[in-house]
Amino acid sequence: MKRAAQLQPLSRQHHLGLNLSRHAKECADGPNAIAEHWLNITSYINEMQQHFQIEDNLMAHALQPHRSSKPEVASVLNTLDAQHKSLHELMAEVQGLPHSQSNHVTVGQVKKLATLLYDHIRFEERELFPIVERYLTTEELEVIYDASPDSIKRSDENR
């Protein structure tokens, strides 16, 4: 699927998340594997805060005028909000454990977070981004591109 040029940097960020979460979904039940996958997934999510802000503040805000008249937009916005909330709640739940227990992340928690992340990225690529491309203006897409981190942009992008 050809992605709008303004969304391509965000799609590139998704590639790493899909790879990390796909591997973490198969995490072995051993302390080293659990620690490695948990660190990989939580580090990725923590590094994606600007990405989440772009989705929550720019994309969702720009789609709001269509929410009441377009059920597909309302559905996508509801799913986006629920998935971001679930990702952050699970991370906060584990990070909120007393330090003596925080080293005891379970394989189930790793797999749950990996599955949430994997499904979320797939949702964005298959549902959110096509809706954004359909309803946002070129100017709104440019604002999203401009807000994207320079580190994920390419100098040869044709916008």
Distance CA 110, CA 66 (A): 36
pLDDT tens sequence across 20-36: 999 999 999 999 999 99
Q: What is the pLDDT confidence band of residue 88, given thresholds at 50, 70 and 90?
A: confident
Distance CA 26, CA 24 (A): 5
* For residue 66, pLDDT beyond 80: yes
Give the single-character DSSP code of 148.
S
Distance CA 146, CA 76 (A): 23
Looking at residue 154, what is its pLDDT?
83
Q: Please give the model's pTM, rounded to 2 decimal places.
A: 0.88
Looking at residue 102, what is its pLDDT?
47
Calculate ∠ Cα 38-76-122, nearest 5°: 40
- In the chain, pLDDT over 90 holds for what percent of residues? 70
Q: Could you tell me the residue ranges of all domains in the chain?
A: 5-149
- The structure tokens listed for 113 are 């977070």
pLDDT tens sequence across 147-157: 998 888 887 76
* For residue 97, pLDDT beyond 80: no
Q: What is the pLDDT confidence band of residue 103, given thresholds at 50, 70 and 90?
A: low
What's the chain's average pLDDT?
90
Looking at residue 150, what is its pLDDT?
86
- In the chain, pLDDT over 70 holds for what percent of residues? 92
Looking at residue 159, what is its pLDDT?
57
Looking at residue 18, what is its pLDDT?
97
Across 29-43, 98-112, 118-132, the highest mean pLDDT is recorded for 118-132
Q: What is the mean pLDDT of residues 84-108?
A: 75
